[in-house]
Amino acid sequence: MDTPAVPMPKDERERQILDRLTVIRDNLLLLKRDRTKYIRSQDVMTLYDQLVEQVKQLNEIRKGEHQGENRLDKVLESCFQLISLFFMTIGRTTEAPAAYALTSTIKRLLDHLAEARLFSSKDLDSISNTLGKLDDILKNAESKHSPYLVELLAKREALCKSMLDNLRKQLDQLDEPLQAVYEKLISIIRSMSLANTKAKFSTSEVQKLKAKLKEIDDSMVDGKFVDGEGKELRGSGLVSDLLKRCLKWSDIVLERQGEIPEAFRDKYNVLINIRNELEKISITQAWSLRETDLYDFQRELDKIDESRVDGNFLDQDGKPAELYVQRTLLYLIRRSYGYIYYLMISSEPVSEALLPIYNQLQTLKRCLIEVKNSGGVSSVRELYPYSMKLNSIDNMRVDGKFMVGNDIPEGQGSVSELLAECFDLNYELRVAAEEREESAKTPDDQQESEQGSA
């Protein structure tokens, strides 16, 4: 879509579909950019139905045969990516279309983990759990969504699972005591790469991390990791190689101190800005994220990632970047994809129209749990602010539903369930406070109370 190197379709019928898909994509982009109103389900579903119709026609033309990728495939991929993010934005996170963008990001992450040979069991566990949830979504998708989309997602998921299994096998080569050492080394090298890309380089921070590497190095016996009986642990060579890579990287980082050559500074600055923006969003995502915003970040990252030749970044003269530049740029790309993945799996099953209410309830729930865990309240009066806020939210409902104008946004069940949980917590705290007040009364107080009620 962005490059003339991708040829136009030769078949006239495909060209017509390309024209219609381009219109759909442009309408999706216009809808994404409109911040004056929230995104409505009916607007998204109209464009989704149009997209599915074009896919159906394309399948009839190709009949399972495809002579290489052309411009149509690129535009189709953009349409699916956008529709997927729209489904997250309107709160339909458990439906098949929402899984498309997630599988794209997981595939990117797995490619990078395999390329860098730097990953922990925590990385793999998180991706494995997400793929397990996608499994459940796809099982229930066939009756609701396009068979083409379901089949496409199933293939993408199977590919991701296969890649995940290959990475898991590498970690399975390590004896249990070495797995902890390996995890520690991964954590150190990532911390070092983070320190290397901070606005102000800290030599002392990197030196402390290098000292931890030296401690691990000193624990080896004759260059090997051994057990209590002096026997070499399985996977010793793998961890030893990683330790050498970490030590070499620490020396390079201390020598370069975050200085990037002019030839790659523009690319570096773009990646730093993307990383910093995504980091900021990840901290405030409950209040500031519209999932469709992730599309622009993904496009920019994909473009930079795909500009590599044989895995290397090239300068304007076609010369490959040195190791320091190469690793620094790749770290920023991987870190950014990691943030996108986190933001996607954190997406709430609630329309952005209801997110302000949902987020208020999330905050109320956290506060009430905190009050409960710290021993409750000493009097019912202390619960008045919580009760008033809950009642004001409850009174916003019309016939049991949260309305925005004449629309009933997605996520009614999630918001109502959260509201009920908050009311239950508030009730528990009130009962406990009343019991505490009752037990604190003196016999004379209780007698006066009984006489008053009589």
Asked if 206 and 195 count as a contact pair (C-beta separation under 8 A), the reply is yes
Give the model's pLDDT for residue 444.
60
d(CA 41, CA 26): 18
Domain boundary among 203, 229, 256: 256
Of the CA atoms within 13 Å of residue 372, those in its CB half-sphere come to 17
**DSSP H stretches of helix in 316-398:** 323-345, 355-373, 384-394
Q: Name the token pair of 141.
A: 């998708």
- Pairwise CA distance, residues 265 & 378, whole Å: 60
Q: Is position 142 within any domain? A: no
Using CA atoms, how far apart are residues 129 and 136, in angstroms rounded to an integer?
Answer: 11
Residue 434 lies in a domain: yes
Q: Which of these three, 40, 75, 92, is where a domain ends? A: 92
Q: pLDDT under 70 in the chain at which residues?
A: 1-5, 64-67, 142-143, 285-288, 442-454
Instruction: Determine, yes or no, domain membership for 239.
Output: yes
Asked whether residue 346 is domain-assigned, the answer is: no
| Residue 148 domain-assigned (yes or no) | no
Between the CA of residue 363 and those of 58, 380, 390, 431, what are the distances in Å?
47, 20, 12, 22
Look at the chain and report how many structural domains it folds into: 3
Q: List Cα–Cα distances, 3 to 13, 29, 270, in angstroms.
A: 22, 19, 20
Query: Is residue 292 domain-resident?
Result: no
Domain boundary among 28, 63, 92: 92
Q: Is residue 62 part of a domain?
A: yes
The confidence score (pLDDT) of residue 1 equals 39
Tens digits of residue pLDDT in 219-261? 988 889 988 888 999 999 999 999 999 999 999 999 999 999 9
Domain that holds residue 196: 176-256
Residue 423 domain flag = yes
pLDDT digits (tens, 9 = 90+) for 111-140: 999 998 889 899 999 999 999 999 988 887
Report the alpha-carbon distance of residue 175 to residue 239 in Å, rounded. Answer: 11
Predicted pLDDT of residue 357 = 94
